[in-house]
Amino acid sequence: MNLKRVVVTGLGALTPIGNTAQEYWEGLSNGVSGAAPITKFDASLFKTQFACEVKNLNIEQFIDRKEARKMDPFTQYAMIVSDEAIKDSGLDLDKIDLTKAGVIWGSGIGGLKTFQDEVTSFSTGDGTPRFSPFFIPKMIADISAGFISIKYGFQGPNFVTVSACASGTNALIDAFNYIRMGKANIFISGGSEAAVTEAGVGGFNALKALSQRNDSPETASRPFDKDRDGFVLGEGAGAIILEEYEHAKARGAKIYAEMVGCGMTADAHHITAPHPEGEGAGNVMKFALEDAGLSPEEVDYINVHGTSTPLGDVSEVKAIQRIFGDHAYKLNVSSTKSMTGHLLGAAGAIEAIASILSIKNDTVPPTINHFTDDEEFDARLNLTFNKAQKRDVNVALSNTFGFGGHNASIIFKKLTE
């Protein structure tokens, strides 16, 4: 099969360190931490009392109040970033084939707040089954893609991927494959999550997955640091317009980068812990490189999953060293979760945007909050500690891994004719 080329023509971001793609990039470049005490509920009795929340957001500036009431926050976030990405792309919706335009979205959890609120209301009542007629449509993960397609009239493939923290990346992979196989010309793709709720924080606390550094939230997410003690929960969304290259070129579109490869594997090891030697993580990068037709030596930057957990950071670095060999010491590695926290199903989307913008700006965003070296990591590796670094970034690889052993990698490249 003669595969078509796929390019990025629009971006939208809503993150704990910036409410647009440009603000997000400025936050990344300046090493800003998005972690702070939780404001969405009283977290005083929780083991973890902080998170990376979206800040200074007035939903009614973006979505009509009546419409917003029909949406869980994760869908509201999806609508906001999709609108930014569509506008950024310069697409004229009256001039495209809407049957060849689709939406593939990602969310690991979906409408958690809606589920929590409805069930709590029922359980504290008199037992009479009173539920909102919007309960189910607000809660289900696929409704985000549904709302987006309804707004823009996109009539092509439309669904949501659910693979825990790999969801956003899996959505991008599916969109990429549909376009290069000629099944569509355009996709709005990405992911959103809004899990900073009592159930979200309490559930991850029960798993002992979250940092409990309540005395210093802004420094709690510290990937590769000896004293890392878990991830910081984040929320938000990222949207990317993926477009068939000739279609984009014909309309004179601005092109950020080309998406050139992807990989997917399973650890087949444990429901929450990564394979200790990073077998699945190594394989997924290897397969992505093979898919892209690139050698390891051609990669300049890896945006790692890097959650700031004791086991995960080690296994991913082992995988990088195994796959990249001596070149591992020549490329830059960084974890932008040190700034944004972990956006779960939206992580892959915003980290793909970070990778794309690293190519556009020839700048590698840092891994902030590094205080103490960990002897488990080879000191020769450039983990881009504490400060962004300028360098030529022609190829960037982004990793996302999820509970259940799901691994996904995607590769972006500077556009060449």
Active-site residue numbers? 165, 305, 342
CA distance 122 to 116: 10
Beta carbons within 8 Å of 372's beta carbon, 6+ residues apart:
225, 226, 227
Give the residue from 259, 400, 260, 407 showing the smallest Cα distance to 336: 400
CA-CA-CA-CA torsion for 406, 296, 6, 165, nearest 10 degrees? 20
Give the residue from 47, 386, 120, 106 showing the smallest Cα distance to 236: 106
Task: Give, in degrees to the nearest 5, the angle at Cα 208 between 207 and 211.
Answer: 135
- Backbone phi, psi, residue 239, to 5°: -125, 140
Task: Give, in degrees to the nearest 5, the angle at Cα 286 between 285 and 288.
Answer: 65
- Backbone phi, psi, residue 14, to 5°: -135, 105
Packing angle of the helix pair 310-324, 279-292 (nearest 10 deg): 40
CB 102 within 8 A of CB 176: no
For residue 318, give the amino acid letter.
K
Beta carbons within 8 Å of 416's beta carbon, 6+ residues apart:
258
Torsion sign over Cα 123, 128, 134, 135: positive
What letter does residue 367 receive in the DSSP assignment? Answer: B
